[in-house]
Chain A
Amino acid sequence: MSDFTELWPPIRLTLELATVTTIVLLLVGTPIAWWLARSKARWKEAVAAVVALPLVLPPTVLGFYLLIALGPEGPGGWIAGLFGGRSLAFTFEGLVIGSVIYSLPFVVQPIRNAFESFGERPLEVAATLRASPWDAFWSVAVPLARPGFITGAVLGFAHTVGEFGVVLMIGGNIPGETKVLSVAIYDYVETLRWTEANILAGGMLVFAFVVILSTMVLQKRTERSES
């Protein structure tokens, strides 16, 4: 009988990575979604396409470019240099950056849709009630877009938990640092440790089901309350 305590570090690391990534995604994704929803610039759809790229790019392609960007020769290496490091590749911070880019469309799209769904009117009303644009954003736009934020956060979190290709390319397989769940499962299968692989894979299956179900229920409920 093998000891299952070694299953814990990859689970904890994955949850940490997904949590940090989701927070960063909301901070970065919200202004992008707001700009995409409100701007009248002609080239905004080009920006939207760039944001959506990870949807269609093979994760290994994205991972390859990220590896170069995060490596000693890229901007990531330069940033790492400021903190006394050599490279952001094969670090937790590097994984966060990669995950944010990889999951960005899953967060930006629902929030953008939510911002677009209520149109200009509530913001105009807020303006005639003495709310500055900044005030109106927080007191009107964000609360009205709440369903979009919830969907975006759930999808961003779940998508980060489930990523594999990008992590393998830029993170490798360092226990406690970059060895996340999906990589651990791959590892166990490679070494023919089917029991451990089964436990982790089954857990992921249940997790994915719960996430999708709760997102759908949530959406149904907001649709009903709006009608």
Chain B
Amino acid sequence: MTAEDAKIEARFAGALGGFVLDVAFETPMRGITALFGPSGCGKTTILRCMAGLRHLPGRLAVNNQVWQDDGRGVFLKPYRRAVGYVFQEASLFAHLTVHKNLLFGAQRVQGHVRGQASDGGVKFGDAVDMLGLETLLNRTPGALSGGERQRVAVGRALLSQPELLLMDEPLAALDHETKEEILPYLETLHEHLSIPIVYVSHDIAEVARLADRMVVLSNGKVAMEGDVTSVLERLDLTDSADRFEAGVVLAARVVRHDEKFQLTHFDHHGQSFVTPLVKVAAGDEVRLRVRARDVSLATQMPIGISVRNILKGIVAEIREESGTAYAEILVDIGGAKIRSRVTRAAVADLGLSIDAPVYALVKSVTFERRPRLR
């Protein structure tokens, strides 16, 4: 069994009140896996089952250790599982300082000596550095902002040396600015830690930014699963608010920076992208997010237009949204596919059909800081 084969296997089935959950998924022991879906689809329940806070019949194996197998009567209590859990509200212990909150789990891990972690465990100093907690250590939770509290909660979970980190919408209770303040810390974790993370979210932008893999849930069932890139190409977002956010992520390499116009040029399988200047070294790979609503289509190369990103491709799929004015077109631009949201009338006017050559006009590209797409 090599490290590459190590995985998390989860299967839970049971009824909760009137709601029936029946899910099974597998995910590797590395990277971030997002459990994505609208509220009430069972995401949080799955996470609680994985932590052992809730017991639904099923099976859970993490890195070949069985945490739950009702067929054989195995069910480890939460405190016997090497799991870290970050709740939506930070839930710090109000009677302890930040320092003591951080050490709560660490002190209870058997054989773990503080500041001297074995085989790549998370050291106290490293967690404090990674999450920027140095100045908070002697404060009490009551004296922290929402974002600071959540960072402490993440640190506390990490220092209990988990084999698996579970995060239940850790950013949902925070305002936009605080989210932006925390996301870089989460990205840092992702780069520096080998611990797999299962991350519950209903925010597609967050998932697109952080996750490597995603499991899409709908009414207590797995609707789709796979790499974020491929799932986002296919994902049908039914909620109208989310449909607005539908789009894809692309891996792109930084080609050069243009200081004069303050632009960065990227390459994606021979197609070039331009974004406002970003601080990433030339040659590095980053993740770009392109929303379907930001992509227009043309059948000829447009001239005299302000849009900088014009990509040549062919129509791979046309999905009309019945009952609405819109259709989604999947355009194959070589390396990947991008989604475009146009009106059904436009589809008819342009005479779009499968395999027809088109130009995709990308009005806006969101640059995701993280330099890797695994």
Contact = CB atoms under 8 A, between A and B. Distances in A.
Contacts of A140: 93, 95
Interface stretch (B80-88, B235-243, B350-358): B80-88
A126 B104 contact: yes
Contacts of B108: 129-131, 135
B169 to A, nearest CB: 15
A128 B95 contact: no
Interface string B86-118: 010101011110000000110011000000000
B53 interface: yes
B78 A128 contact: yes
Contacts of A133: 79
A127 B91 contact: no
Contact of B93 (A124, A125, A132): A125
Contact of B53 (A124, A143, A146): A124
B47 to A, nearest CB: 11
A174 B160 CA distance: 60
Nearest to A130: B108
Nearest to B160: A129
Nearest to A136: B79
A211 to B, nearest CB: 25
Interface in A86-129: 121-122, 124-129
Q: How large is the interface on A (under 10, 10 to 19, 20 to 34, 35 or more residues)?
A: 20 to 34
A156 to B, nearest CB: 23
A45 interface: no
Contacts of A225: 142
Contacts of A129: 79, 104-105, 108, 156-157, 160
Nearest to B142: A225
B51 interface: yes
Interface string B324-350: 000000000000000000000000000
A128 B84 contact: yes
A121 B142 CA distance: 17
Which of A122, A124, A132, A133 has the most chain B CB within a 10 Å cutoff? A124
A121 B87 contact: yes
Contacts, number: 64
Contact of A125 (B77, B81, B85, B95): B85
Contacts of A146: 95
Contacts of B79: 126-133, 135
B94 A128 contact: no
B48 to A, nearest CB: 9
Nearest to B90: A125
A80 interface: no
A143 B160 contact: no
Contact of A143 (B81, B89, B95): B95
Contacts of A139: 104
A133 B96 CA distance: 18
Interface in A200-227: 225-226
Contact of A121 (B52, B91, B156, B160): B91
A91 B121 CA distance: 62
A225 B140 CA distance: 11
A128 B51 contact: yes
A144 B95 contact: yes
A126 to B, nearest CB: 7
A131 B83 CA distance: 12
Contact of A128 (B83, B89, B93): B83
Nearest to B161: A130
B104 A226 contact: no
A86 B109 CA distance: 54
Contacts of B156: 129
Nearest to B84: A128
A132 B78 CA distance: 9
Interface string A62-86: 0000000000000000000000000
Nearest to B166: A128
Contacts of B160: 128-130
Nearest to B78: A127
Contacts of B94: 144, 226
Contacts of A135: 79, 108
B109 A128 contact: no
A220 B105 CA distance: 32
Contact of B105 (A121, A130, A143, A144): A130
A122 B105 contact: no
A218 to B, nearest CB: 16
- What 4 pairs across the A-B complex have the smallest Cβ distances? A129-B105, A130-B108, A128-B85, A127-B78
7 contacts: A121-B89, A127-B78, A128-B51, A128-B79, A128-B84, A129-B104, A130-B160
Interface of A: 121-122, 124-133, 135, 139-140, 143-144, 146, 225-226
Given A127-B78, A226-B142, 15 more contacts: A125-B85, A127-B52, A128-B79, A128-B81, A128-B83, A128-B84, A128-B105, A128-B157, A129-B157, A130-B108, A132-B79, A135-B79, A139-B104, A144-B94, A146-B95
